[in-house]
């Protein structure tokens, strides 16, 4: 399996509901380093997994929808704990929608999957992997 990873970052504010979250129940900020890995079994006719420029642009577009937002105020996240794990899935699903819409080029429709990893810090991160 071949893969290409692009990286960006996003800054958000949010809070959590539930005793398990302790002080994170209060509004707080988070800055995530975000890696999006695109996979395919065989390279395309140009010997690429995916065009890196298009992949980076798509990731930036997805993150721009979240950047500098209080996720507690966003209708898409109403009633949801926006954990690192949950945000990784949201980013992956939004990237997948762009792949299916052709934003990463026609060859990207042959991608096998995407993994999105959100790095909370240098010692903790969470990922979500999905097929395409």
Q: Is residue 126 a contact partner of residue 88, using CB atoms and an 8 Å limit?
A: yes
Identify the DSSP state of 122: S
Give the predicted TM-score (pTM) of the model: 0.96
Mean pLDDT by 10 residues, the chain (132 residues): 98 97 95 98 97 98 98 94 97 98 95 98 97 96
> Whole-angstrom Cα distance, residue 31 to residue 64?
13
For the chain, how many residues are written? 132
Task: Please report the pLDDT score of residue 132 as a whole number.
Answer: 95
> Whole-angstrom Cα distance, residue 97 to residue 120?
25
The domain limits of the chain are 2-131
For the chain, the maximum distance between any two Cα atoms, rounded to a whole number of angstroms, is: 52
CATH of 2-131, one of 3.40.190.290, 3.40.50.720, 3.40.50.150, 3.30.479.10: 3.30.479.10
């Amino acid at each position: 399996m071949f893969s290409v990873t692009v990286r960006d970052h996003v800054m958000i504010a949010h809070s959590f509901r539930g005793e398990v979250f302790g002080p994170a129940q209060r509004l707080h900020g988070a800055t995530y380093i975000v890696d999006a890995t695109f996979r395919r079994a065989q390279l395309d006719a140009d010997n690429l997994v995916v065009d890196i420029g298009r992949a980076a642009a798509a990731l930036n577009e997805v993150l721009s929808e979240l950047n500098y937002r209080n996720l507690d105020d966003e209708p898409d996240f109403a009633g949801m704990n926006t954990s690192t794990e949950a945000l990784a899935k949201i980013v992956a699903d939004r990237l997948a929608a762009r792949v299916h819409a052709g934003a990463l080029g026609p060859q990207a429709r042959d991608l096998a999957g995407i993994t999105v990893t959100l790095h909370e810090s240098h010692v903790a991160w969470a990922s979500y992997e999905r097929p395409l």
